[in-house]
Structure 1
Amino acid sequence: MHRTYSLRQSRAPTASQLQNPPPPPSSTKSGRLFGFGGVGHALRKNAAGTFGPDLAKKLTQLVKMEKNVMRSLEQVAKERMDVAQQLSIWGEHGDEDVSDVTDKLGVLLYEIGELEDQYVDRYDQYRVTIKSIRNIEASVQPSRDRKQKIADQIAHLKYKEPNSPKIVVLEQELVRAEAESLVAEAQLSNITREKIKAAYAYQFDALREHCEKVAIIAGYGKHLLELIDDTPVTPGETRPAYDGYEASKAIIQDCEESLTSWVTSNAAVSSKLSTRSRTLSQRRRNGIKTRTEGGHDLSAQDAPINDRDSWVPAHQHKDRYEDDDGDLDASSDDDLEEEEARRSVLDSEGGLGGETRGRPHEQMAA
């Protein structure tokens, strides 16, 4: 291949890599026991759910299946680069325009293979984050098992020896085990939500960058194809001399510049929600925000009662209506009798279904 204008000549970090530093190489790129074959895929998938705690089996299988996906992506990247080299080798002995364009196309296809290899590294970030949820699930399983074991022992004793003193001891242990399990379950719930959002954010960000860059390369590849003169010629007619070397060089350089300067904020494709989706999503986010901030603040709805002369606690009513000699105030006594009469009428006539409704009678002091 003519590597003079290859995108792989430039090893300086791209704008995207400066904004979001690349992760370490994927853990699947080394330590292969079964290679790329389908045998290794099948063994990993089928054996994943056989061992380990019951709570973590399903996620363990998902993690192993994702490992198969990553191995497949690695194979695709490797074969893509091999294909790019072979394309350049094939076109080397063709006409000048075909030779030049196929060589440059090989450069672009090789770059796609490199991008796919980088995508595997970022995909591994997602997989490792999912594995952390699996590890938490595995750590919660013992507390569940202990609680269940104690409950089974209590049920067995109550059936065999209802008066056994061990029942009280086991019930106390069960209370402690339930408390420990409650804490573990809460931690699992919190961490699961945190990690699932982080994991798929890694995957979708990596997928978006990969697809955008592949689309950029595809666009410049179409420009390269325009340099090939596909006008039919008659037998014996010669084609004009090819003069597109500088143009193909410029296209490769433009492609390299576009890939180098790409950042997420400049992505060409954006997902736009409909009005209904946006409204429903915003309502959900507002609900989460409200719960996070401690619920609705109702303290300002009712003004505090600062006039202590017009309101007193119920247990102080007797003192309120007694004068210095201990006799009830006459006017207050009349008010109380009137209220008693009103209540008895409502109760006797069925009133509002036997319920007392309306504002309580205000007690007026003389």
Structure 2
Amino acid sequence: MHRTYSMRQSRAPTASQIQNPPPPSSSTKTGRFFGKGNFGHTFRRNAAGAFGPDLAKKLSQLVKMEKNVMRSMELVSRERMEVAQQLSIWGEACDDDVSDVTDKLGVLIYEIGELEDQFVDRYDQYRVTIKSIRNIEASVQPSRDRKQKITDQIAQLKYKEPNSPKIVVLEQELVRAEAESLVAEAQLSNITREKLKAAFTYQFDALREHCEKLAIIAGFGKHLLELIDDTPVTPGETRNAYDGYEASKAIIQDCEDALTNWVQQNAAVSSKLSTRSRTLSQRRRNAARRQGEGVDLSHQDAPLDSRESGLWIPASEHQGNGYEDEEDVDAPSTIGTETRGREDERQIAA
């Protein structure tokens, strides 16, 4: 800003940051191969579902689309800061009251850009957690493929050589493959639920903090506008001298204090369930208790012995799964992508 007073002079951690330390900088802010334009967005969205196991393709596309969302938010953040600076530069040549208020409004808008940049980092926590579900899905696919392959071999032998002794051997292998697949599927089910809840908790907590702080800034911004004398004057008439410099600084200071001291426990907006929603939720919890809240499958989640079977392997070690780390360069696709909605799938199944 072109004035000496700015909210961002102090970088002391806020109460919210002390209570919930900020995450590392988002992985989308570095290592860009395709630059900052729309080409990278389009390429990632279209190519995401063309790589890797079938089980993980849909979630892979979601992860890449969220990456596009985050990079769009980064662009908004940078341009918001540039707008704030330009507003202050324009107001410098105006009357005293307009000059002072636009400078302070620029401080508030610049702060919004800073908050948006911090929001991107917290949003990345959600995306990375969703990405971990995708990796588990990719590691489950080999067990499904092996079970299906053995089933197909048995069906083929029964058709061509009904009395072949290989059928008995393959049926025994199928029993083992189904048992191994059952463990993998149970682990996938458990981890999916755990990670899904954690991921959207990150997102909703970040959204709540971001929106509440935006509301704080908007409220103090309107207080600043009250310092501008908008009483119409006749030609030749002069306005009273502006004496709101100290008041505008005090408003900015109050806004900074409000943002610094904000914690989630003191959030102004609360989501209250209706009586019907509370009743239905309580009814579901009671039903879960009566049913014993499901079956504990945690004992099945132990990794398989690699000496017994090579089916259950981490996604990072699965050759040909098409996945690279998030800081990779997306390779061009040579595989045609299919985008089919749930309605189409139901029609095909019918």
TM-score range normalised by the length of the shorter chain: 0.7 to 0.9
Deviation of residue 291 (structure 1)? 4.5
Contact persistence 1:5–1:253 (CA under 8 A) = no
Give 1:2 deviation, angstroms.
4.1
Q: Give the corresponding residue for 2:170.
A: 170
Is the 1:7–1:256 Cα contact (8 Å) retained in structure 2?
A: yes
Task: Indicate whether 1:142 and 2:142 are aligned.
Answer: yes
Distance 2:248 2:102 in 1: 10
The Cα of 1:10 is off from its aligned counterpart by: 1.5
Larger Rg: 1
Taking the aligned partners of 1:69 and 1:82, their CA distance within structure 2 comes to 20
Q: CA deviation at 1:33?
A: 1.4
Q: How many residues align?
A: 295
Structure 1 residues 217 and 50, CA gap change in structure 2 (3 angstroms): same
Superposed CA deviations along residues 110-165 of structure 1, whole A, max 9, x for unmatched, are 00000000000000000000000000000000000000000000000011111111
Corresponding residue of 1:26: 26
Which secondary structure does the structure 2 equivalent of 1:49 belong to? helix
Q: Which residue of 1 aligns with 2:238?
A: 238
Residues 91 and 25 from structure 1, CA distance in 2 versus in 1: closer, same or farther, beyond 3 angstroms?
A: same
Question: Which runs of 5 or more residues in structure 2 are unaligned?
Answer: 296-350
Q: Please, what TM-score do these two structures have when normalized by structure 1?
A: 0.79
**2:124 is the counterpart of 1:124:** yes
Distance in structure 1 (CA, Å) of the matches to 2:288 and 2:30: 42
Distance 1:232 1:50 in 2: 64
* TM superposition shift of 1:7: 1.6
Give 3-state SS (helix, strand or coil) of 1:227's partner. Answer: coil
**In structure 2, C-alpha distance between the alignment counterparts of 1:61 and 1:24, rounded to whole Å:** 24
Over the matched positions of the two proteins, sequence identity in percent amounts to 85
Aligned partners of 1:3 and 1:9 also within 8 Å: no
> Structure 1 residue 87 and structure 2 residue 93: aligned?
no
- Cα 1:135–1:166 shift into 2, 3 Å: same
> 1:7 maps to what in 2?
7
Distance 1:32 1:292, change over 3 A: farther
**Letter of the aligned partner of 2:94 in structure 1?**
G
Q: 1:17 to 1:3 in 2, by over 3 A?
A: farther
Distance 2:212 2:6 in 1: 20
Partners of 2:44 and 2:64 within 8 A in 1:
yes
Q: CA deviation at 1:286?
A: 3.2
Cα distance per residue 1:43-89 (max 9 Å; x no partner): 00000000100000000000000000000000000000000000000
Q: State the distance in 2 between where 1:28 and 1:224 align.
A: 36
Counterparts of 1:209-358 in structure 2, within 5 Å, are 209-291=209-291
Question: In the alignment, what sits opposite 2:44?
Answer: 44
Q: Which residue of 2 aligns with 1:191?
A: 191
In 1, Cα distance between equivalents of 2:118 and 2:144: 41
Aligned-partner residue type, residue 48 of structure 2: A
Conservation of the 8 A alpha-carbon contact between 1:5 and 1:252 = no
User: Deviation above 6 Å: which 4+ runs of structure 1?
Assistant: none
Give 2:76's aligned residue: 76
Q: Which moved more, 1:137-146 or 1:282-291?
A: 282-291
Local SS of the residue matching 1:232:
coil
Write the deviation string for residues 92-125 of structure 1: whole angstroms up to 9, x where unpaired: 1110000000000000000000000000000000
Give the aligned partner of residue 153 of structure 1.
153
Q: Is the contact between residue 92 and residue 99 of structure 1 (CA under 8 Å) also seen in structure 2? A: yes
* Residues 35 and 193 (structure 1), Cα distance of their counterparts in 2 relative to 1, 3 Å cut: same
Task: Calculate the TM-score normalised by the size of structure 2.
Answer: 0.82
Conserved? CA contact 2:2–2:89, under 8 Å = no
Taking a change above 3 Å as real, the CA distance of residues 94 and 3 of structure 1, as seen in their structure-2 partners, is closer
Distance across 2 between alignment mates of 1:141 and 1:214: 44
Superposition RMSD in Å: 1.2
Structure 1, unmatched stretches of 5+, are 296-366
The code of the aligned residue for 2:84 comes to A
Cα distance in 2 for partners of 1:292, 1:12 equals 49
Question: Are the structure 2 counterparts of residues 7 and 48 from structure 1 closer, same or farther at C-alpha, using a change threshold of 3 Å?
Answer: same
